[in-house]
Amino acid sequence: MVANGTEGEPASAKDKVLLAQQSPHLVLDGAVVAAEVVGADRAVVVVHHSVREIVDDAAAERRRAGSDRIRIEVMTGADRFVGGEASALIHWIERGVPTPTRTPPRASERGLRGRPTLVQNVETLAHLALIARYGAAWFRAVGTSREPGSMLVTLLGGVHRPHVHEIAIGTPIQQVLGLADGVVAPLQALLLGGYFGTWVPAAAADLAFSRAALAPVGASVGAGLVAALPDDVCGLAETARLVRYLADESAGQCGPCLFGLDAIAGELHRLADGSATDQGTLRRWLGQVEGRGACNLPDGATRLVRSALTVFGSELEQHARGWCCATRTARILPLPLRTS
């Protein structure tokens, strides 16, 4: 089995906080439980380089204690956006190349060394360890009846105290923002889920943070990201930056992803800076790349762009007239240094 703690999503910190500040042993407990359930004799724990030493130390403690019946190996992930995708992870472990491949076969059918492989996120494994310890009823005591339990969220952007928090699933977003001591300025919009996620208008802060509550507005909890966009920052310019990053993260195997996302990023940038005024070309290109990648990168990027065209529709009209509502130039959504 493979424990996925690569956290390729640049704005997310939940897996790193879980592994470094909470308890690496909780994740390793969950990896052992999962491995035993599926009959695996080996668990490979792939983590972000920033927490590698901590997880190495935890694995060494367990080896010294001789407490686990399975072998735990720790390795550093590829630090690429698509590096956490299950097939990319398998290729990274086997060959040091983090490239996704089209499914089927899924990793659960043919994974490491051609054998069925369970790939699970480290947060899920931590939950599994707690359920094994305290039982299902304990886990279901929080959350909603359809989506029980808690989840880790990364709060960032225009909030006073960006950080990772554990919330009960179904907590109102307004209340979630309160955990970061609230917003620094009136909200213009929220980016939910991650950079594969969806922009929603500020009014969506009244919704609960759950799959069921967010589905009607086309959003999802995704990787647990809640990014607040203040009303004095340009959402189009922020989205253009994110899409340029996503285009640069293409593994370069699929034409629509390699060339299409690059073209989309360029056109969105032109709409954001006012040098293009017609959305027709961009919308046509979005339709041409959707569903045409071996992994979800093209679909995730186009979902982000489509939500921006909806939520920032009035800004697009203003930009076409050479005017922008933003009163400060700010980059509130973090990107890795290589592309920001």
Q: Which residues bind ligand SF4 (CB under 6 A)?
A: 82, 100, 250-254, 257-258, 293-295, 297-298
Angle subtended by helix axes 24-38 and 122-134, to nearest 10: 80
Tokens at 195, concatenated: 């950079």
Q: Which residue lies nearer to ligand SF4 by CB, 230 or 293?
A: 293
Q: Which residue lies nearer to ligand SF4 by CB, 201 or 336?
A: 336
CB of 263 to ligand SF4, least distance (A): 14
CB of 141 to ligand SF4, least distance (A): 39
CB of 4 to ligand SF4, least distance (A): 17
Q: Which residue lies nearer to ligand SF4 by CB, 258 or 330?
A: 258
Q: Which residue lies nearer to ligand SF4 by CB, 4 or 150?
A: 4
CB of 103 to ligand SF4, least distance (A): 11
Q: Which residue lies nearer to ligand SF4 by CB, 111 or 149?
A: 111
CB of 86 to ligand SF4, least distance (A): 12
Residue 165 — φ and ψ, nearest 5°? -135, 150
CB of 293 to ligand SF4, least distance (A): 2
CA-CA-CA-CA torsion for 265, 266, 269, 275, nearest 10 degrees?
Answer: -160
Residue 315 near residue 232 (C-beta atoms within 8 A): no
Q: Which residues contact 204 (CB under 8 A, 6 or more apart)?
A: 173, 190, 192, 214, 217, 219
Sign of CA dihedral 182, 185, 187, 192: negative
In whole angstroms, give the CA distance from residue 309 to residue 231: 16
Q: Which residue lies nearer to ligand SF4 by CB, 235 or 293?
A: 293
Distances (CA, A) of 321 to 188, 272, 276, 290, 324: 20, 11, 10, 30, 9
Residue 261 near residue 288 (C-beta atoms within 8 A): no
Q: Which residue lies nearer to ligand SF4 by CB, 81 or 199?
A: 81
CB of 248 to ligand SF4, least distance (A): 11
Q: Which residue lies nearer to ligand SF4 by CB, 56 or 290?
A: 290
Residue 199 near residue 214 (C-beta atoms within 8 A): no
Residue nearest to ligand SF4 (CB): 293
CB of 82 to ligand SF4, least distance (A): 5
Q: Which residue lies nearer to ligand SF4 by CB, 33 or 78?
A: 78
| CB-count exposure of residue 338 (10 Å: 0-12, 13-18, 19+) | exposed
CB of 118 to ligand SF4, least distance (A): 22
State CA 149 to chain mean position distance: 19
In terms of Cα–Cα distance, which of 246, 205, 323 is closest to 82? 246
- The amino acid present at 70, given as its one-letter code, is I
Sign of CA dihedral 13, 205, 147, 294: negative
